[in-house]
Amino acid sequence: MNRSIVTIEPVLAGWVVKLRGEALQVLPTKLEAIGFASRRAAEEHRQSGAPCGVSVRLRTGETVLVALHGWEGQKVRGTLR
């Protein structure tokens, strides 16, 4: 399955948003970066039809998936997880 992940990583000037390794924008706050990345992921999904998510690499080094566009998900007992 083709899919893309828009990534957000901390940098000295704030948070950089990347798609396929290419920096799209640097924003001053994590919240602004998540909003921008989610809109970009939704647009990527609309254009390609392939699922696109957003992941954030925290300053601790952990990575968290924060948004999914076009992913079916796994149904377990009537809920998506």
What pLDDT was estimated at residue 80? 44
Q: Which residue intervals of 1-81 are DSSP H helices?
A: 30-48
> Across residues 29-40, what is the average pLDDT?
96
- The answer to whether residues 15 and 27 touch, using CB atoms and an 8 Å cutoff, is yes
What pLDDT was estimated at residue 74? 44
Range of the domain at 62: 4-80
Which pTM value belongs to this model? Answer: 0.83
> Across residues 49-55, what is the average pLDDT?
93
Residue 24 DSSP SS3: strand
Q: How many domains does the chain have?
A: 1
Q: How far apart are CA 81 and CA 43, in angstroms?
A: 23
Pairing of strands 75-76, 22-27: unpaired
Burial degree of 17 (CB within 10 A; 0-12, 13-18, 19+): buried
Choose between 67 and 59: higher pLDDT: 67
Q: Percent of the chain, pLDDT > 90?
A: 72
